[in-house]
Amino acid sequence: MKTKQNQYMNPYLAGFLLGLVLLAAIFITGRGLGASGAIKSAVITAVNTIAPYHAENSEFYRNYNASHPNHPLKSWLFFEVIGVLIGGFMSGLISGRLKFKVEHGPRIRSKVRLVMALIGGMLFGIGALFARGCTSGAALSGMAVLSLGGFITMMAIFGTGYALAFFFRRFWL
């Protein structure tokens, strides 16, 4: 017998609820959701702490620190992403999905998957800084407020994904 555990929520219901959360974020705080910004805060904190002299002399950190008088980790997105971690864990706990594992396609080994994840993450980090936001901050939130940039970034992300899918099919199918 199939148990209801492990099953995912209806995607339209999930999307509707996610839309309401996004709307609440915009209504209450005037800004949408995000993710990569928190990692940026963490990187800047690390550089400020480990190499303060370097941070003072490099343009990006200097600009960031000048425009963000608070501690970089005292940022909205950092707190939000801590929340995502908690929320994701709670959901996994309720639905019985908590488990250490490497998820990979049937034709590759875990090691290959981890290398791919590392490369993918690096690309996402670079791309998100260029586009001033990732799938959440630029594409989803940008689309919700109907900003031109949000739509352009969204189309560029998914367009490229489709264009490259053929070449990476070995890793997923």
Per CB under 8 A, contacts with another protein among 25-84 are 25-37, 39-40, 42-44, 47, 58-61, 70, 74, 76-77, 79-84
Residue 125's region, left for phi above 0, alpha for psi from -120 to 50, else beta, is alpha
Is the CB of 1 or the CB of 9 nearer to another protein?
9
Question: Taking CB under 8 A as the criterion, which residues in 141-160 touch another protein?
Answer: 141-160
- Least Å distance, CB 66 to another protein, is 14
Provide φ and ψ at 81, rounded to 5°: -70, -35
111 makes contact with another protein (CB under 8 A): no
Cα separation, 10 vs 16, whole angstroms: 10
What is the smallest separation between the CB atom of 93 and another protein, expressed in angstroms? 8
For the packed helices 76-94 and 36-50, what is the interaxial angle rounded to 10 degrees? 120
97 lines the binding site for another protein (CB under 8 A)? yes
Residue type, 26: I
